[in-house]
Amino acid sequence: MRIRQHVNPLKSDFFGIPLAALALPAGAPVEVELGSAEAWFLMDRASEVPAGHYVGVEIRRELAWAANEESARRGLANVQCVFANMTVDLPRLFAPGSVTRFHLNFPDPWFKSRQHKRRVMSPSLVRDLQTLLAPGGEVHVATDIFELALDAMAELESPLANLAGPWTFLRQSPFQARSRRERQCHDEGTRIWRMAYRCAE
């Protein structure tokens, strides 16, 4: 199966993906990884906290399918990935107040200035996250690109409470789970910028 390296999230094909609201188990904490790729992070989380439910939102359809095949192979019924565009689709997937924690792990950097508009962190994404988070829900971001870390901090700092203190990065991940990119950074000795935010109870 051919899986593309990158797709442009602003392409019209990705603004009308047929989707239905997800049926989430009542009573289980729901964690969502935005741009989940192979969903290794979510599969690790499912091993760490088996009582949770884990959803990956991924714009590369074949990758979402492959992740679902792998989680089925591992017997992880509580990990599911959906082919969707986080820029526009989150309110169609999740009910307001239904998500315990969002993870944005290593968003695509789109280095060229003419491509910056493809970056996913934006005021409208933050508005969606605020609406969909349960009271006291959290947003965790990790990136190895300092400019993206600063952009994310600038968007999240004022509507949400920074768990490390105002304008402060987390020293280490609060999770054992590691995404594929995070493992790569670890192997290469690349610095990772992390932040965690909480919304009001």
Ligand X SMILES: C[S@@+](CC[C@H](N)C(=O)[O-])C[C@H]1O[C@@H](n2cnc3c(N)ncnc32)[C@H](O)[C@@H]1O
Q: List residues binding ligand X (CB under 6 A).
A: 9, 35-37, 57-60, 63, 85-87, 105-108, 120, 179-182
**Candidate list 108, 128, 151, 187, residue with the active-site label:** 108
Nearer to ligand X, 109 or 161 (CB): 109
First to last CA, the chain: 44
Q: Could you tell me the smallest distance in angstroms from the CB atom of residue 41 to ligand X?
A: 6
Q: Could you tell me the smallest distance in angstroms from the CB atom of residue 27 to ligand X?
A: 27
The rounded radius of gyration (Å) of the Cα atoms in the chain is 16
Q: Is-catalytic flag, 108? A: yes
Nearer to ligand X, 91 or 136 (CB): 91
Nearer to ligand X, 127 or 161 (CB): 127
DSSP-derived letter for residue 58 is E
Contact yes or no for 149/16 (Cβ under 8 A): no
Question: What is the signed CA dihedral for 137, 62, 118, 189, rounded to 10 degrees?
Answer: 70
Count of beta carbons in the 10 Å neighbourhood of residue 22: 18
Nearer to ligand X, 89 or 199 (CB): 89
Structure-token match 């490390």, residue found:
164
Q: Could you tell me the smallest distance in angstroms from the CB atom of residue 103 to ligand X?
A: 8
Structure-token match 């990119």, residue found:
181
- CA separation for the pair 120, 194 (Å, rounded): 16
H helices of the chain, where? 40-48, 61-73, 86-93, 123-132, 146-156, 180-188
Q: Could you tell me the smallest distance in angstroms from the CB atom of residue 2 to ligand X?
A: 14
State the catalytic residues: 108
